[in-house]
Amino acid sequence: MAPKSLHLFLFVCSRANINMPVLRTLSKVAKQALLVSQGCGCQPLTVAVRNISFSPRQVTSDASFHSVSFSETDHPKVLITGGLGQLGVGLAKVLRKRFGNNNVILSDIRKPPSHVFHSGPFIYSDILDYKNLREIVVNNRITWLVHYSALLSAVGEANVPLARAVNITGLHNILDIAAEHGLRLFVPSTIGAFGPTSPRNPTPDLCIQRPRTIYGVSKVHAELMGEYYHHRYGLDFRCLRYPGIISADSQPGGGTTDYAVQIFHDAIKTGKFECNLRPDTRLPMMYIDDCLRATVEIMESPVDTLSMRTYNINAMSFTPEELAQEVMKQLPDLEVSYDVDQVRQAIADSWPMNFDDDNARRDWGWKHDYDLPELVQTMFNYIGSETRLAQVN
Ligand SMILES: NC(=O)c1ccc[n+]([C@@H]2O[C@H](COP(=O)([O-])OP(=O)(O)OC[C@H]3O[C@@H](n4cnc5c(N)ncnc54)[C@H](O)[C@@H]3O)[C@@H](O)[C@H]2O)c1
C-alpha cells in the first residue's frame, strides 16, 4: 500500500470505530508498514485526499456505491433541509421548475402546510438524526444537498444550547453525509458571520471574523469546516453569505433583519409600524428572488470558475428610516415609531453595513436585479393588492 493510502486506511478505521478483530489486525499491519515506509527516507506523507468520497465517520458497506455516476443530462436530485422556513419553499419552487417536481425533496421537522405538502415531495428529517439523514440520501439517490436548517440570530441568542446543537452538531452530520456520498453541498452563511472588529463598510470576503452571536460563530464554523472538507476530502462545498432576505409570501425565522419584512405586513394591515432597530441602522439586504437565483447559480457554476468556496453576495443596503421613506411613497399615511430591542440592536451594530461582493461578480457573474425601489414595489404588488394599498390607490 502507498503511504497515502495507509494513512487514509488508518484514519477511516479509527473514525469509523471499527473493532472487528480482522480489521484491527489489518490496521496493525498497516501501521507497521507505515513506520517502515516512513523510515525509508521517502517523501513526506501528504494527508490531502481530493476527490475521494470517504466520510470520516463512516466506511460504506457497499464500496461500489461511490462509483455510481450520473450522466451530464441527468438532473441533480436535491434534498433541502430546514425547508419550511423563510427560504426553503421558494427555493424548492425554483429548483422544481428547473429539474422536475420529483427531483427536489423538501424536508423539515415541522408539519408542512397543505399547499406545500401537495406541491411536491416532502419528508420528515431532523438533521440531528444522522442515520435518518443518511437513509434519506441513500434511498432517494440524492446528489445535491441544500442545508437550510438553522436557528437564526435572535432566536439563537434566546436558546444557545439548541442553536449550538442545530447549527454546529447538525452541520457535522450534514458534512459527513455529503462527503460520504459525494454530494454537492450548499450551506448558506450570513452577514452575521462578521463582528464588530470586521471592516463594516464595506465588508470584503476575506477579513477578520469575530462574531459575537452563537449564530455568527456557528456560521463561521460552517464556512471553515466546509472549506476544510473541500480541501481534505474533495467535498464540493459551496457557500454564499446572504444579506437579510426580504420576502412577501414567507415569514422570517427570527433574525435581526426581520423588521424589513414586517414593515410591509404592518403597513398594509394597520398603517402603523413599530421598528425594533434604531432608524439609522444600516444593513445589507436582498429580495428573495435574487437570493434564490444566486443559490441556483453558484450550485450550477463550473468548478473552475470558483476561486473561493464562500462568497459574499450583495444587492442593496438601507436603514429603517430609508425603507420607511420608500414605503411611504406608496402609503403616505404610514406611522412609524421606534422601540429598540437591545439584543437585536447590539447584533445589528456588530454586522456589516455594506457587503463587498466583487469576487462573486467576477468569478461566476453574480448580478442582483432588485434595488430598494423595485423591492418595495414588488412587495406591495405581492401583498398589497386587496388591502389598504388598493384603497389608497
Ligand atoms: N432569511 C434570512 O434573512 C437569512 C439570511 C442569511 C442566512 N440565512 C440562512 O439561510 C438558511 C435558511 O434561512 P431561513 O430564513 O429559511 O430560516 P428559518 O429560521 O425560517 O427556517 C429554518 C428551518 O430549520 C428548521 N429546523 C430547525 N431545527 C431543525 C432540525 N433539528 N432539523 C431539521 N430542520 C430544523 C426549522 O423548523 C425551520 O423551518 C439558514 O441557514 C439561515 O442561516 C437566512
Q: Which tens digits make up the pLDDT trace of 37-66?
A: 443 333 333 333 333 445 556 534 333 333
Pocket probe for ligand 1: among 124, 149, 164, 295, the residue whose CB has the most ligand atoms within 8 Å is 149
Are residues 211 and 328 part of one domain?
yes
What confidence category does residue 32 fall into, taking pLDDT thresholds of 50, 70 and 90?
very low
Q: Are residues 22 and 93 in the same domain?
A: no
Judgement on whether residues 149 and 234 belong to the same structural domain of the protein: yes
Asked whether residue 388 is assigned to any structural domain, the reply reads yes
Both 172 and 107 in one domain: the answer is: yes
Share of the chain above pLDDT 70, in %: 79
Q: What's the chain's average pLDDT?
A: 85
- Note whether 27 and 156 are same-domain residues: no
Asked whether the beta carbons of 290 and 368 are under 8 A apart, the reply is yes
Residue among 148, 292, 312 whose CB has most ligand 1 atoms within 8 A, to mutate: 148
Task: Assess if residue 63 is contained within a domain.
Answer: no
Q: Which residues contact 101 (CB under 8 A, 6 or more apart)?
A: 119, 120, 121
Q: Which atom of ligand 1 is nearest to the CA of 257?
A: 3
Nearest 5°: phi and psi at 260?
A: -75, -10
Q: Which domain holds residue 43?
A: 3-47
For residue 393, the model assigns a pLDDT of: 53
Identify the residue whose cell numbers are 420529483: 102
Lowest mean pLDDT among 39-48, 73-82, 136-145, 253-262: 39-48
| Residue 347, burial from CB neighbour count under 10 angstroms (0-12, 13-18, 19+) | buried
Region 13-38: mean pLDDT is: 42
Residues 229 and 335 in one domain: yes
Kindly state whether residues 115 and 42 are assigned to the same domain: no
Residues 208 and 86 in one domain: yes
280 and 170 housed in the same domain: yes
- Looking at residue 235, its pLDDT comes to 98
Please report whether residue 73 resides in a domain: no
65 falls within a domain: no
Evaluate whether residue 70 is within a structural domain: no
From the CA of 165, give the closest atom in ligand 1: 31
Structural domain contains residue 55: no
Atom of ligand 1 nearest to the CA of 86: 16
With beta carbons less than 8 A apart as the criterion, state whether 195 and 212 touch: yes
Residue 215 a catalytic site member: yes
Q: Domain with 123 in it: what CATH number?
A: 3.40.50.720
Number of domains present in the structure of the chain: 2
Residue 226 contacts residue 175 (beta carbons within 8 Å): yes
What does the chain come to in residues? Answer: 393
This prediction has a pTM of 0.84
CA dihedral sign, ordered 129, 66, 62, 47: negative
User: Is 66 domain-assigned?
Assistant: no
Which of residues 361 and 30 earns the better pLDDT score? 361
Looking at the fold, whether 124 and 221 belong to one and the same domain comes out as yes
Ligand 1 site residues (CB inside 6 A) read: 81-82, 84-88, 108-110, 126-128, 148-150, 152, 166, 170, 188, 190, 242, 244-245, 252-253, 255, 257
Burial environment of residue 31 by CB neighbours within 10 A (0 to 12, 13 to 18, 19 or more): middle
Among candidate residues 215, 229, 259, 311, the one labeled active-site is 215
85-132 tens-digit pLDDT: 999 999 999 999 999 999 999 999 999 999 999 999 999 999 999 999
38 and 177 in a single domain? The answer is no
Shared domain for 35 and 107, answered yes or no, is: no
Residue 390 has a pLDDT of 56
